Amino acid sequence: MKRFWPFRRKVSARTESVSLPPMAEAAPSDMTRLLRLEDEEVSAIEAARGRLVVIGMVLVIAFSALAVRAFGLAIAGDAGPAIVAEAEDLRRGDLVDRTGQVLATTLETYSLFADPTQVWDAAETAAALATVLPDVNEARLRDDLASRRRFVWIQRNLTPRQRQAVFALGLPGLDFRIEPRRVYPRGRLAAHVVGYTDRDMDGLAGAERAFNAALDSGDGRPVPLSIDMGVQFHVDEVLRLTMAEYRALAAVGVVMNVRTGEIVSLVSLPDFDANRPASARPDERLNRATQSVYEMGSTFKAFTVALALETGIASPGETFDARGSLRVGGHTINDFHAENRRLTLEEVFTHSSNIGSSLIALEAGADAQRDMLTRLRLMERSPIELAESAEPLLPRQWGPAEIATISYGHGIAVSPIMVASAFAAIANGGVYVQPTLQPVRPGETVAGERVMDAAVAQSVLDMMRQVVEDGTGRRAEAPGYRVAGKTGTAEKPGRGGYDRNRLISSFSAVFPYDDPQYVVLVMLDEPHGTAATYNYATGGWTAAPAAGEIISRIAPMLGVERHGEAGSNSELLRAALSPSAESLPEFTQ
């Protein structure tokens, strides 16, 4: 038994060194010390816990801040322009026509991006995406995906079908972001009027640019335009058919309310799909109605005759010698359809005599001619809201040759909208009203400026009616609407002078003659004659019939009664001719 004692003593010693006396056996002084030790231990633990909670909260805040910053850098660091649309952008208002049809609206679309660090094989991914996104540049995308950036745009504003096709590929490292996109349900119809925006929803052209502030006001309310899409549809259709028939390079159509200045229709051909402006040619995006200037030919004779009446140079019935030709400043002026006789003031206008018009302007002088054109706003850009409004091209000097040629629309280049507005002033009793794309409320008074004596304006309008009844504009007559108008044919300038084989042919119409309400201007750029026109491509043969067809179609839609018809019949015709929503071009991807 002695051999086990050493082991027992060692165990006892170890127990005594690590164990506290039992509570029942401890002395009072030992009890106090034990309680004090326990209190200190608990306090230390609680303090440590508090410090750990504070440290944890600080770490959470710090790591949250780092995560937010890292996310922001991942999104914006390599993404180029800011892509997160603000609330105001999401509420960009719709553009609608005067009847409430939507011309431009905002939809949410999906945009595809990649995190190159998560892409397994850059070449394989780029090749696969190119099969479902044909607009993607495969080589450039491959280089982007092979980079070490965290964010790369692949393609924005995908169609639902494209998004599904990308999903089906099952490629890692790809994701989508929802972005707003401006869409144009009518596509090409009124594209030059409506315009388009950039990716950040800022207007770049047309009404999108002109009314950008109103569209981005933040209230989300639609912005109405004066355009009537039913009228626009028919003007567009007639112009396309006419342009094709005469193989013209371009065509323009304008319909304007003479009393309010409202532009009810504005067509410029060739045109473009407003949903894809980047894919259009520059000449397709060009708004020829406002942005291009042309020598408009004999339409200017309306202003020359007004000048004769206003200055007292001539009165109705007074004659001018239009025999032979006229030499002015080394230039010879001839009549296209020479009468070779003395012509009355009315005949100068009706038969469109260059010689008679030149004689009137030369007698009036440069100052009087400039004053008349200035009052009609033909010496400055059109005041329409569109930024695409061109300055006229004026002669460097205003000598006898310039006075003579300007009297019949050569030597000065203006936009079609400027000419339409000047004819609207004549139709409005000599009061000029600014052209506008903003609708006028019923009963609203529109302020205009008197630019011509009312009696003079009426006399010119009477002569315009004679042009349609007995002169060069007979093919513009629209039965029941008593059209008044003036033809215009101008040779286009080129190297070495004017080219008689390249014409600007036009017709400026007012209807109805008895109660003028609307101006219709049709212009064709380089039309070609046909067997039906005896190979003539002048305004009377090409533009005038188109104007008459347009008036026949749109007059009932505008509530203009046929001569002798009751209002109820007019309403029936309007309903019959107004295109339904189904017949108008729809937005398609």
The CATH number of the domain where 242 resides is what? 3.40.710.10
| Amino acid identity for residue 465 in this structure | R
Catalytic residue among 265, 298, 552, 570: 298
Q: Which helix (H) or strand (E) holds 467?
A: helix 454-470
What pLDDT is stored for residue 565 in this prediction?
55
If one counts the domains in the chain, the total is 2
Q: Which helix (H) or strand (E) holds 546?
A: helix 543-557
Determine the Cα–Cα distance for residues 137 and 155; give it in Å rounded to an integer: 10
Residues 413 and 479 in one domain: yes
What pLDDT is stored for residue 48 in this prediction?
60
List Cα–Cα distances, 543 to 79, 301, 474, in angstroms.
Answer: 51, 17, 11
Residues 257 and 383 in one domain: yes
Residues 267 and 153 in one domain: no
Nearest to 133 by CA among 103, 177, 163, 96: 163
149 inside domain: yes
Count the alpha carbons within 13 Å of 360 in the hemisphere toward its beta carbon: 37
State how far Cα 419 lies from the chain centre.
21
Residues 176 and 311 in one domain: no
415 inside domain: yes
What pLDDT is stored for residue 78 in this prediction?
42
What pLDDT is stored for residue 179 in this prediction?
83
Domain boundary among 157, 183, 209: 183
Taking the whole predicted model, whether its pTM rises above 0.75 is answered as yes
Residues 286 and 381 in one domain: yes
570 inside domain: yes
101 inside domain: no
450 inside domain: yes
Q: Which residues of the chain have pLDDT under 50?
A: 1-29, 31-35, 37, 68, 70-89, 566-575, 577, 579-589
Residues 178 and 246 in one domain: no
497-511/484-494 β-pairing: antiparallel
Residues 156 and 248 in one domain: no
**Phi-psi sector, 411: left (phi>0), alpha (psi -120 to 50), beta:** left
Q: Catalogue the E-assigned strands of 187-233.
A: 196-197, 203-205, 223-224
What pLDDT is stored for residue 110 in this prediction?
87
Confirm whether 298 is a catalytic residue.
yes
Residues 508 and 419 in one domain: yes
Domain containing 152 equals 109-116+141-183
564 inside domain: yes
Residues 384 and 309 in one domain: yes
Those residues with Cβ within 8 angstroms of residue 121's Cβ, 6 or more apart along the chain or in another chain: none
70 inside domain: no
What pLDDT is stored for residue 135 in this prediction?
86
Positive or negative: CA dihedral 288, 294, 296, 300: positive
Residues 236 and 172 in one domain: no
4 inside domain: no
Residues 260 and 157 in one domain: no
Under a CB-based contact definition with an 8 Å cutoff, are residues 265 and 227 in contact? Answer: yes
Residues 382 and 508 in one domain: yes
Determine the Cα–Cα distance for residues 312 and 368; give it in Å rounded to an integer: 12
